[in-house]
Copies of this chain bind each other. A is one copy, B any other.
Amino acid sequence: MNERDALRRLAADLPRAGDDAAVVDGTVITTDMLHERTDFPPGTTRYTAGWRAVGASLSDVAAMGAEATAAVAVYADETFDPGDLDEFVAGAVDVCAAVDAEYVGGDLDTHTEFTTATTAIGSVVDEADRDDAGAGVGAVTRSGASPGEALCVTGEWGRSAAALRLFERGTESALDRANDLFRFTPRVADGRALAGNATAMMDSSDGLARSLHQLAEASGVGFALESDAVPVHPAVDDVADDEAERFELAAHFGEDFELVCTVPEGKLDRAREACPAGLVRVGTVREADEGVTVDGDPLPDRGYTHG
């Protein structure tokens, strides 16, 4: 059984699983494991690893439209080098600070491969706390999209794909830039702004294409994506040979930890104004039987399968 089928099986058994994070009594909780072989290419600093691992969980909190409260991490390695550990913790502390959350520690474990397990918690804002623009209401799940709404994304895409190419290049300047690209800002502020405006939302850890298929399945809709509209990170231009590769890296590679959401036409302007990372319309929600398309052709449900 592959990881995807296994996840689907889990979601069927556990009523609160299957979204980016679970919501229990207004508290959002989500957990992830990243490890060296599959997630941290040679050249990834421990500072970047701490930032990115904790950031991945904070991104899931963001995808629910929740405030991020705190994060913890397990740091497992063959040995504990004090410098490595300090760097990792500094990265974890800094990514939490970037989204007004607090890194509160965790656990250490001896393992044959550098492995991190991170958990973030957040809180869903009460109806009573909603602001005048309607933001900050409840959790945003994957299942609320309706045909006719705008399909939107935050930020710029292909960042992690470009970083991987730079890690492979291996020069000092390429590694510096790759580490910088790997340290994304979790879209907590944007997720908060989208709560109350977006009807469905998720983060893009598996790539835009796969995310659209997952949103389509959860909401019972289709999507018409316009490839030209997808905001591509400038670093992609330095590593992609042509337009096709550019779209491949931006739409299929994944791990960009941006938000993908659906917004009713009438709320689009205010949602756009409220998102610090930028919110771009990349398509339209369609009926389920129209499927998920890009420029009118079927969009393959294909991404990078992460270990």
Which A residues have a C-beta under 8 Å from some C-beta of B? 1-3, 5-7, 9-11, 13-14, 16-18, 22, 24-25, 27, 29-33, 35, 38, 69-70, 72-74, 76, 79-82, 85-86, 89, 93, 102-113, 115, 117, 119, 121, 307
Contacts and interface: CB of A to CB of B under 8 A. Distances in A.
A159 to B, nearest CB: 22
A70 B10 contact: no
B72 A33 contact: no
Which of A1, A73, A81 has the most CB atoms of chain B within a 10 A radius of its CB?
A1
7 contacts: A10-B105, A10-B106, A17-B106, A29-B104, A33-B74, A33-B115, A109-B307
A54 to B, nearest CB: 12
A305 to B, nearest CB: 9
Contacts of A115: 33, 111, 115
Contacts of A24: 69-70, 102, 104, 121
Contacts of A2: 80
B29 A119 contact: yes
A128 to B, nearest CB: 18
B3 A105 contact: no
Interface pairs A-B: 4 shortest CB-CB: A17-B105, A117-B117, A22-B104, A119-B119
Contacts of A32: 74, 107
Nearest to A85: B6
B113 A33 contact: no
A7 to B, nearest CB: 6
Contact of A82 (B1, B16, B85): B1
A102 B6 contact: no
A99 to B, nearest CB: 14
B105 A70 contact: no
A1 B72 contact: no
Contacts of A1: 79-82, 85
Nearest to A31: B72
A103 B29 CA distance: 11
A82 B119 CA distance: 24
A111 B132 CA distance: 47
Contact of A85 (B10, B25, B73, B79): B10
Contacts of A27: 27, 69-70, 121
Given A22-B105, A25-B69, A111-B113, 5 more contacts: A5-B80, A14-B105, A29-B119, A31-B74, A109-B307
